[in-house]
Amino acid sequence: MGPRVGVEDNLKPVKEYLSSKGYEVCSIREDLLENFDALVISGMSENFLGVQDTETGAPVIDAAGLSPKEIFSRIEDGLKRSR
């Protein structure tokens, strides 16, 4: 299985797209933030659970105004930088 990505529940098209690309996609839970390789949040939750301040080292992608394909590209770029 590919990278584990936490995605907010209201971003169903993003979840489906990332799953089709081989990612393990899960809903974001505050107690599991450190278990994700990347996080995708909606623009409505700019500081969702304090996630933008998380010290997990995982890329945090704000999905506002982005297509699932653009989000995928940003995750890929973020994962390359964090390796």
Per-residue model confidence as pLDDT tens digits over 12-45: 999 999 999 999 999 987 767 778 999 999 876 5
Per-residue model confidence as pLDDT tens digits over 56-67: 678 889 999 999
Q: Report domain extents, the chain.
A: 4-82
Among all chains, which residue has been given the structure tokens 């994700």? 36
DSSP-derived secondary structure for the chain = ---EEEE-TT-HHHHHHHHHTT-EEEE--GGGGGG-SEEEE-GGGTTGGGGGG--S---EEE-TT--HHHHHHHHHHHHHHH-
Distance of CA 45 to the CA centre of its chain: 13
Q: pTM score, two decimals?
A: 0.83
State the CATH class of domain 4-82. Answer: alpha beta
